[in-house]
Structure 1
């Protein structure tokens, strides 16, 4: 076989194991053709020498916000996808967001296709954000869009006035998505709890950015997560709770998984590495804490971080995503919307942090590739599960993305050998279109040396971005898999025949 690419002299890591040193990856026509020893090469074969470094699947970041109307200073497709490949991510799934007045999803999709076409360095897909889930959309549009466009996941909000759905609407969507085999994602925070606290804080003139973390109290996430799980249990439908930040909320997920409910959980880098002290800002500029405003907020207690790390290691979390939802700090329409006539108003600060580029290096730095065994927080196979394999399976890309195996797209990250990839995160080295990073000054132990997408080197740290923007392809996805538990359960305390009386 005349191979197009051979990656040699590396240590391949997949979701189940670390393969023996010395295996090579052969690529033909953008796919993994074989894994073997002493693969044949010709003058037409490009050879990438890993020099003893680890090789992991290209990252799948399944929670990325790009070019959304409600984030006018956020990243567009060009900058967001460029940033992704520089950090080892070869596939992103972003959000086509329905607004309240949108009576159909077809114009929403058309607009989002127009924004992304020929604008991406990496492969990509879409989720729908549903804010107006009419019967027409649920019964007639979603089935067509799932089959013809491969959009097989939706996201719902339990908070934000412009986006929140009530419990009945959530149930209607869960039933519809279950019938279609679609994945339902949910942002779980109690809107009424948060609104009540915000009113009190503003009445008492406590409006500095830090009070964002007070307003969106952990109990609001704990309660809404439990309620979301209960709604999913009633509907007997799979659910993913996104960007979880509370140890108690994650325990609700763990308990549900123990009962074999199909409940999945996601967390993000900022909830593993940062605390609410960051929102206090600099001593000379308290408003600079606005750079760290996101929802759910950064938590106060290091115990929350420890609890999340335990859930990273023990399998409770299904995916690890960036929730790249950036707003510039020093730009009209950005974070400084929270300065009203010179007075800080945390409730006006746009939510979200940049992080698509730093997601994989931050987590990889906590594996035995970079830490001693007693200090490593997760195994290398677990890293692959969280950053690539699980999101690919959950969102209908299994067999194409998320693993290194014959027939899969030839998407790889080649890391630096040993400690040669260590560096300090700085805004100056990143490739997004933001004016800050929340991880400024953090030391990480490795960075992708090469990012390879469908057999093409698109990031070479020595030379920077070497891929072409138009190389990224839209991905028509299949139906996702249930990775925790199963459907067919009865809510606790029900008899076998209770559902048939009302369904």
Structure 2
């Protein structure tokens, strides 16, 4: 047996355990071929010494916005995926977005493929945002997307007028996705509540960035999350609620999971590290808060953050994504689109924050790898579930990505040994194409030392930083996603056990 690369002297972490010390990882042709001790090496075998550090699977960021037309100052594929590998993420799943006037998904897909081709440092795949779900698209094009293109997930919006879908449309898409084994992702906020509040804020002249957090209160997310869960329960469809920020909405998810409904949830670093105070004006810059405008917005109280941390630890959340959807701050088409002739309006500030590079380190910093056990927020296997293995399983990359085992792609993150790697986040150290980070000045206990993608070291922090090549990243066709929480076939409260058979196809 001969290996291209052997990684030794590390502590290997999987989604279930920390493996015994002394195990080595043998890699051949981009795949993990062996875990063992004293693996044979030849003159052509490269050796990477982890020096006692933890080794985790390459991160999968399953919620990323790159090169989108509605975000002209955002990251493209080159800068976004460069930033990903520098932060330990080896696979990103970004969004191809249908607009209302698009009658077919395939021209949209071709255009989005063209943007990514030859540009990616990391491996990648696409979700599809549906805004015009015609019968032709649901019955003819979605099956082709799944079988021919390996796109097995869609994202749906309950808010934003250009994207918002009716409950009936949500139901029809859920039914179509259920039949195909596709994953349905939902952005849940009550659009009418938000519109009412915005009208009142405008009438009173309350338009500074802080009022973005007032305009989209927790109750708007709570109601829409409960409604989305109810719609999914009616048609027995697995689903995931994206970028959750509210304790009550999270409790709706937990309640559904307790009833074994296939309801999954995602949250993001900014909802666990930042509160709405960051949206307020600063003495040196009254518009500074625009940097932190995102939807759902940052919540008001530290207690909101603490509740979400419990959901991270107890399994309520299935995935931890960046929702990397940035716009430059100091740019008239970026965040300062909300500033016209010195007048501020939160309504026209582009939504979204940068976070693709900081995602892994921010969660790793909360584990016992960086904190005393009594202070740690979660264990290392849970870290792996949230950052890699659950996303791989849920989005059809299981058996290929998201774990350290023979047969999997050799996607690895090697951290610094304990006591080394402490980092203070600053925008100057990051590799995105943004002029700020919302986590400026935050200290984290470690940072990826090496990132390995399909057997190649693409990030070596101490020796050149990004050492991978643009274009090395490959498009990943995905299979059907797995249901990770609950199971299909659960009865609806108040309905007969077989009541669906009278109106719904099996």
> TM-score with structure 1 length normalisation?
0.99
1:224-263 matched pairs, under 5 angstroms? 224-263=224-263
Counterpart CA distance in 1 for 2:163 and 2:497 is: 36
Determine the structure 1 residue equivalent to 2:465.
Answer: 464
Which whole-Å CA distance do the structure 2 matches of 1:466 and 1:372 have between them? Answer: 33
Match of 1:220 in 2: 220
**1:365 matched residue in structure 2:** 365
1:494 to 2:495 alignment = yes
Partner of 2:276: 276
Structure 2 CA distance for aligned equivalents of residues 419 and 305 of structure 1: 27
Deviation at 1:284, TM superposition (A): 2.7
Which residue in the other structure is 2:144 paired with? Answer: 144
Deviations 1:384-410 (CA, angstroms, capped at 9, x unpaired): 000000000000000000000000000
* Equivalent position of 2:61 in the other structure: 61
| Partner-residue secondary structure (3-state), 2:265 | strand
Q: Which residue in the other structure is 2:109 paired with?
A: 109
> Secondary structure of the equivalent of 1:178?
helix
For 1:408, the equivalent position in structure 2 comes to 408
1 CA distance for matches of 2:109 and 2:419? 44
Correspondence 1:255-404 to 2 at 5 A: 255-404=255-404
Counterpart contact for 1:183–1:395, Cα < 8 Å: yes
Q: 1:100 offset after TM fit, Å? A: 0.7
Shift of 1:342: 1.5
- What is the distance in 1 between the residues matched to 2:388 and 2:366? 16
Does the 8 Å contact 1:459/1:467 carry over to 2? yes
Counterpart of 1:161? 161
Which residue pairs with 1:50 in the alignment? 50
Q: In 2, distance between residues paired with 1:165 and 1:76? A: 27
CA contact (8 A) 1:209 1:286 kept: no
Matching residue of 2:2: 2
Unpaired stretches in structure 1, ≥5 consecutive residues: none
1:202 match: secondary structure: helix
In structure 2, C-alpha distance between the alignment counterparts of 1:419 and 1:273, rounded to whole Å:
23
Q: Is the contact made by 1:152 and 1:183 (CA closer than 8 Å) also made in structure 2?
A: yes
Q: Distance in 1 between matches of 2:469 and 2:292?
A: 32
Q: Count the aligned residue pairs.
A: 503
- Measured after TM superposition, the shift of residue 502 of structure 1 is 1.9
What's the CA shift string for 1:401-430, capped at 9, x where partnerless? 000000000000000001210010000000
1:144 shift after superposition: 0.7
Distance 2:66 2:491 in 1: 39
Give the C-alpha shift of residue 286 in structure 1.
2.2
After superposition, residues 152-231 of structure 1 pair within 5 angstroms as 152-231=152-231
Asked if 2 retains the 8 angstrom alpha-carbon contact of 1:239 and 1:263, the reply is yes
For residue 340 of structure 1, report the CA deviation from its aligned partner.
Answer: 2.2
Work out the CA distance in 2 between the residues paired with 1:187 and 1:46: 45
3-state DSSP class of the match of 2:223? helix
Partner of 1:454: 454
Q: CA deviation at 1:290?
A: 0.2
Aligned to 1:151, what secondary structure does the other structure show?
Answer: coil
Deviation at 1:481, TM superposition (A): 0.1
1:51-80 Cα deviation digits (max 9, x unpaired): 000000000000000000000000000000
- CA distance in 1 between partners of 2:329 and 2:360 (Å): 24
How has the CA–CA distance of structure 1 residues 303 and 4 changed in structure 2, closer, same or farther, with 3 Å as cutoff?
A: same
- 1:217 and 1:230 map into 2 onto residues whose CA distance is 21
Three-state SS of the structure 1 residue aligned to 2:67 is coil
Name the SS for the 1:62 alignment partner: strand
Secondary structure (helix, strand or coil) at the match of 2:287 reads helix
SS at match of 1:448: coil
Q: Secondary structure in 1 aligned to 2:20?
A: coil
Q: Distance in 2 between matches of 1:207 and 1:412?
A: 45
Contact 1:238 1:487 in 2 (8 A): yes
Cα distance in structure 1, aligned partners of 2:500 and 2:39:
58
Give the deviation of 1:497 after TM superposition: 2.9
Other structure's SS at 2:154 match: strand
Whole-angstrom CA distance in 2 between matches of 1:159 and 1:145 = 25
* TM-score when normalising by structure 2: 0.99
